[in-house]
C-alpha cells in the first residue's frame, strides 16, 4: 500500500515524533495502532504526491513511546510552508467536522456529502460548509515610515500592522478603511493588495494590503490597541514571526521603501 502522511489530532494538538529539532509525522503503518479510537478521518490533499489524512483520536489516547502532541504554531519554521498549510487545512476540517455533527436548521444528524467538503442534513437537505472568516490587514506608509500598533495580548515590545475581521456586507476595502479608522483614527488611500494566507486559529483568511497615509492624528482604540506609532524603516521594533503574513507584509514594504529612498537620496 502506498505511503500516507497522518495528521493525527487530539483537540487542536498534532501528533509528531519526539525530536525537538526535527519532529516527523506518523505514516500509514501507524494507523493500525489507533484504529479503535479514531473519531473522524478525512483525506485532505497531497504532500509531495503522498496522500495526507486528518484523523482525530479520542481524548483518552496517550501517545506511544517516541511520540508527543504539540500545537501547530510550534512547527512554524520546522515544517515547510506547504506542509504547514496542509496541516492547517486538516486542523480546520477536523474542527468543522466535530462541530457540525448535527443540522443547525432542524437538529437532525448530518451526513457527509459524497463529492464536496460539505455536511448534508438527510431530513431538510440543509448544507454546511467549513467556515472561512476574512481578516483584512493594512500596513500604512508615510514617506519612509510605517504605522505599527500593538494589542494588549502581543508579546512584550512587539508591534504589527493593523488587522481586523471583515463584517457582513463589507468589501475588503471597506473593512480596511473602517478598521484603520477605528483602531488608529487614520485615513488612507491607494490600497494595494499584497498577499493572503490561511490562518487556522481558528479559521481566518488573512488578506494583506499596503496603503498610503492621507490624514489624521493617531488615536489608539481603547481596549483594542495598547500603543500605535510611526516607525522609521531603519528603526523598527520587535516584529511578528517570519512565517506570519504580517511579517511578510512588513518586510516587503520596508524593502520597497528602502529601495525607493536609496534611489532618491
Ligand atoms: Zn436539517
Residues 112, 168, single domain; the answer is no
Cα 91 to ligand 1 centre (Å): 25
Cα 100 to ligand 1 centre (Å): 11
Cα 118 to ligand 1 centre (Å): 13
Please give the pLDDT value at position 118.
Answer: 95
Please give the pLDDT value at position 265.
Answer: 75
Residues 201, 246, single domain; the answer is yes
State whether residue 134 is helix, strand or coil.
Answer: strand
Range of the domain at 259: 133-264
Pairing of strands 133-142, 127-128: unpaired
Residues 74, 156, single domain; the answer is no
Those residues of the chain that have pLDDT short of 70 are 1
Cα 45 to ligand 1 centre (Å): 29
111, 130, 149: which is the final residue of a domain?
Answer: 130
Rg (CA), the chain: 22
Residues 88, 207, single domain; the answer is no
Cα 161 to ligand 1 centre (Å): 41
Secondary structure E strands in 48-182: 50-57, 67-70, 111-112, 119-120, 127-128, 133-142, 145-150, 162-165
Residues 170, 240, single domain; the answer is yes
Q: What's the ipTM? A: 0.99
Cα 122 to ligand 1 centre (Å): 7
Report how many domains make up the chain: 3
Residues 208, 253, single domain; the answer is yes
Please give the pLDDT value at position 20.
Answer: 81
Cα 102 to ligand 1 centre (Å): 8
Please give the pLDDT value at position 19.
Answer: 87
174: Cβ contacts below 8 Å, ≥ 6 apart: none
Q: Under the phi-then-psi rule, with left for phi > 0, alpha for psi from -120 to 50, and beta for the rest, what region is 97? A: alpha
Cα 112 to ligand 1 centre (Å): 13
Amino acid at each position: 500500500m502506498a505511503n500516507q502522511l497522518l495528521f493525527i489530532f487530539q483537540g487542536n494538538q498534532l501528533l509528531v515524533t519526539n525530536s525537538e529539532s526535527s519532529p516527523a509525522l506518523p505514516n500509514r503503518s501507524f494507523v493500525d495502532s489507533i484504529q479503535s479510537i479514531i473519531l473522524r478521518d478525512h483525506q485532505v490533499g497531497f504532500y509531495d504526491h503522498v496522500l495526507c489524512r486528518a484523523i482525530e483520536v479520542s481524548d483518552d489516547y496517550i501517545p506511544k513511546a517516541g511520540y508527543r502532541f504539540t500545537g501547530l504554531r510550534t512547527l512554524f519554521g520546522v515544517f515547510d510552508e506547504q506542509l504547514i498549510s496542509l496541516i492547517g487545512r486538516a486542523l480546520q476540517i477536523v474542527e468543522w467536522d466535530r462541530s457540525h455533527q448535527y443540522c443547525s436548521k432542524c437538529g437532525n444528524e448530518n451526513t457527509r456529502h459524497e463529492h464536496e467538503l460539505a455536511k448534508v442534513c438527510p431530513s431538510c437537505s440543509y448544507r454546511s460548509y467549513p467556515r472561512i472568516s476574512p481578516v483584512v490587514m493594512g500596513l500604512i506608509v508615510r514617506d519612509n515610515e510605517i504605522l505599527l500598533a500593538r494589542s494588549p495580548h502581543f508579546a512584550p515590545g512587539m508591534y504589527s500592522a493593523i488587522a481586523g475581521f471583515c463584517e457582513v456586507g463589507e468589501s475588503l476595502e471597506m473593512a480596511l478603511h473602517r478598521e484603520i479608522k477605528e483602531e488608529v483614527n487614520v485615513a488612507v488611500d491607494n490600497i494595494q493588495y499584497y498577499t493572503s494566507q490561511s490562518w487556522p486559529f481558528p479559521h481566518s483568511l488573512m488578506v494583506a494590503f499596503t496603503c498610503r497615509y492621507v490624514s489624521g492624528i493617531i488615536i489608539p482604540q481603547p481596549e483594542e490597541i495598547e500603543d500605535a506609532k510611526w516607525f522609521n524603516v531603519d528603526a523598527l521594533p520587535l516584529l511578528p514571526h517570519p512565517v506570519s503574513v504580517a511579517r511578510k507584509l512588513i518586510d516587503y514594504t520596508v524593502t520597497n521603501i528602502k529601495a525607493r529612498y536609496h534611489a532618491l537620496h
